[in-house]
Amino acid sequence: MRVEGGCGSCGTGDGTLVRDKNGRVIRRQGADGYVTRTLFDRDHVLSEEQYLRPAGCDPQTDSQHCRLGTSDLATVVLEASSATVKTTYEYTDTNWPDKLTATSKPSVLSPTGLVREERTADLATIALSEAADEETTARRYYNLAAACELADELTRAKIYLEKAASIHEKLGWWQMLCRDRWILGKILAKSKNIDAGLVLLCHFSIRSSGKCCPRRLKRLRRRSIRSSGVRSRRGR
């Protein structure tokens, strides 16, 4: 495939592409004559080499910049130039085999060294990366909050539960919202933020019973203190 024209003002011109049987670009020659070669394994990019040149031809000195047609570009032997950079990609997470975990490329400071960059994504990032409707997204946030609470990661649990509550409120699902706020109140209490927890717990009681009397508030406070592990002083 040959791309003609390009963008004169941004420094690009004609280009030539070679695709594999799956339609993926495996070789690309730019207007400057240099070639980028990409190696795939299934749907994964394993490596990418930039600024290769056709064997025996220097794009810097050749009057035609070593330009090739599609058929010739597909079969020509390529060799490295002084500017060639090869980047390799790794997918080593057995739980999420489609996720990129690391990249490696030559160091600009050491000719023989490599720069390795590891990429990590937490469970929430992966779980929420797929497109979903609001109901599914809220359910995922709620489940993440529950998992974080079990792991005693209360700050993250609070964040995810607030996101779930926001969606439930937007959808007008008041029963789910009350559940979110009740659990959020318990999380705040466990985080030793008892007063803020009581506000949400009392708000839940108002929605469920229409009132929050002082006696109920005291019971909620005692229950919150017990779940938080804080020992109250007599008379407080």
Q: Which residues belong to CATH 1.25.40 in the chain?
A: 124-228
DSSP assignment string, 151-190: TT-HHHHHHHHHHHHHHHHHHT-HHHHHHHHHHHHHHHHH
Q: Give the tens place of pLDDT for each residue, 118-174.
A: 876 665 666 666 657 888 888 888 888 888 888 888 888 888 888 888 888 888 888
Whole-number Å distance between alpha carbons of 54 and 76: 6
Architecture of the domain defined by 124-228: Alpha Horseshoe (1.25)
Whole-number Å distance between alpha carbons of 198 and 200: 5
Q: What is the pTM of this model?
A: 0.52
pLDDT band at 199 (very low <50, low <70, confident <90, very high): low
Whole-number Å distance between alpha carbons of 201 and 181: 7
Whole-number Å distance between alpha carbons of 139 and 164: 7
Mean pLDDT over the full length of the chain: 77
- Collapse the DSSP code of 196 into the 3-class scheme (helix H, G, I; strand E, B; otherwise coil) and give the result: helix
